[in-house]
Structure 1
Amino acid sequence: MRNPPRESGPPDLTTPEGFGTFYEEHIDAVLGFVTRRVADPHLAADLTADIFLAAMRSAAGFRADRGVPVAWLFGIARNVLAGHARGQARETGALARLSGRRLLDDEDVAALEDRIDAERAFRAVAERHAALSEPLRAALDLVVVDGLSPAEAAQALGVTQATVRVRLHRARRALRAGEPARRPAHESHLEVVR
């Protein structure tokens, strides 16, 4: 599995050339992120396009002092996927948006289906760790699957690096024990750092 490229400067999305370069550098990482979480090729294509559209719209807000562009992009990807999960009603809006646009042809669908099939093994593992709490799964996915460092994952999640490390420890411990990590009731609103 290819790790996302490491960068030092802010993305230049203000020009067509800059956006094109940024897109080419990150399309595989973003498509991999999406296809590990979605099984429908049309939905994967739509969500990937939505992620880059959101990145283009928010490029002015990127701050290089807060981390690398790929972590910023994965944060946007998480938000886009979470927004989709919260609103299945968006499906109706998506169909309306498709009118007048080129639909995926058979070759595009076949390529996305091949990519989704290639990620099937990951989805089987994901089902086994589905009992983990969402914060633990998110930290684990960003570091282990998507190749971000704990610092970059912390940036994408909007939490401290120590919180990410605690979540990683708890998730790995729970997976080794074969039991889901669950917070005691008195910890339900706080991230407890041990």
Structure 2
Amino acid sequence: MHAARDPAAFEEFYRRHVDGVTRFVARRITDPHLVADLTAEVFLAMLDSADSYRPGRGSETAWLYGIARNVVSVEWRRAARESRAVGRFAGRRLLEPDDVTRLEERIDAEAAARHHREALTGLPEGERAVVELVVVDQLTVAEAAAALGIRPVAARVRLHRARKALRAATEHAELPGRPSGSETDSLSYVRGNA
């Protein structure tokens, strides 16, 4: 990828994708400092793996979301190993109050997406990952497959299984605090009702 070797190309690439990557991370992480740090880590990891990008396998966005998914997964594993008290302050850069406010607003804006992710926790990891990328992150099934490193047909099968499981779960259980508006529309899409 040309952006890894050319600072001007990298800046253009960064500006084109930073909001999307920040939203991706904010849908999964609620701490504004950590959102900022992980977003930066995604772009550092992108520079390290730029030679692995193959345009024929998917869009830049799908490839970048695959990297972001790995960065977030690494963070979750790290946090699980460390105590919460130590983990909250270790290795953080200080953010200006305006930065914290902006990231808190972004995190609040992604609350519905986090709710959707919580509704999917009963699904196997592979199915949940496809649903997250297709419904929450709005990638195509082919792009989600590229981000996960699987074939498009496998992604379609996983999406079908997830929809079937969610349809069965919602038919047999009345959920308190059921989502409304666009949340219901998104969940209906996942279940295959839309």
- Same topology, TM > 0.5: yes
Partner of 1:73: 64
> Following TM superposition, by how much is the alpha carbon of 1:13 offset from its aligned partner in structure 2, in angstroms?
2.4
Partner of 2:182: none
Instruction: Tell me which of 80, 98, 108 is aligned to 1:117.
Output: 108
Partner of 2:13: 22
For 2:155 and 2:144, the matched residues in 1 are separated by: 7
Give identity over the alignment, percent: 50
> Following TM superposition, by how much is the alpha carbon of 1:96 offset from its aligned partner in structure 2, in angstroms?
5.8
Superposed CA deviations along residues 121-149 of structure 1, whole A, max 9, x for unmatched, are 22222222211111111000111111211
Q: How many residues align?
A: 167
> Following TM superposition, by how much is the alpha carbon of 1:95 offset from its aligned partner in structure 2, in angstroms?
5.5
For 1:118 and 1:110, the matched residues in 2 are separated by: 12
Amino acid at match of 1:140: V
More helix by proportion, 1 or 2?
2
Instruction: Tell me which of 17, 25, 39 is aligned to 1:48.
Output: 39
| 8 Å CA contact retained: 1:51, 1:77 | yes
The runs of at least 4 consecutive aligned structure 1 residues that moved more than 4 Å come to 89-98
| 8 Å CA contact retained: 1:11, 1:69 | no
Partner of 2:191: none
Superposed CA deviations along residues 148-188 of structure 1, whole A, max 9, x for unmatched, are 11111111111111110011011111112226xxxxxxxxx
| 8 Å CA contact retained: 1:42, 1:109 | yes
Amino acid at match of 1:51: V
> Following TM superposition, by how much is the alpha carbon of 1:28 offset from its aligned partner in structure 2, in angstroms?
1.2
Instruction: Tell me which of 144, 155, 161 is aligned to 1:153.
Output: 144
- Alignment of 1:86 with 2:74, yes or no, is no
Unaligned regions of 5+ residues in structure 1, if any? Answer: 1-9, 180-194
Instruction: Tell me which of 53, 56, 72 is aligned to 1:62.
Output: 53
Evaluate the alpha carbon distance shift between residue 97 and residue 127 of structure 1 in structure 2; reply closer, same or farther with a 3 A threshold. closer
Partner of 1:168: 159
For 1:55 and 1:93, the matched residues in 2 are separated by: 25
Q: Residue 87 of structure 1: SS of its match in structure 2?
A: helix
- Alignment of 1:33 with 2:24, yes or no, is yes
Evaluate the alpha carbon distance shift between residue 171 and residue 115 of structure 1 in structure 2; reply closer, same or farther with a 3 A threshold. same
> Following TM superposition, by how much is the alpha carbon of 1:25 offset from its aligned partner in structure 2, in angstroms?
0.6
Structure 1-normalised TM-score? 0.79
Unaligned regions of 5+ residues in structure 2, if any? Answer: 171-194
For 1:53 and 1:36, the matched residues in 2 are separated by: 20
Evaluate the alpha carbon distance shift between residue 11 and residue 169 of structure 1 in structure 2; reply closer, same or farther with a 3 A threshold. farther
Structure 2-normalised TM-score? 0.79
> Following TM superposition, by how much is the alpha carbon of 1:93 offset from its aligned partner in structure 2, in angstroms?
8.7
For 2:90 and 2:51, the matched residues in 1 are separated by: 29
| 8 Å CA contact retained: 1:13, 1:22 | no
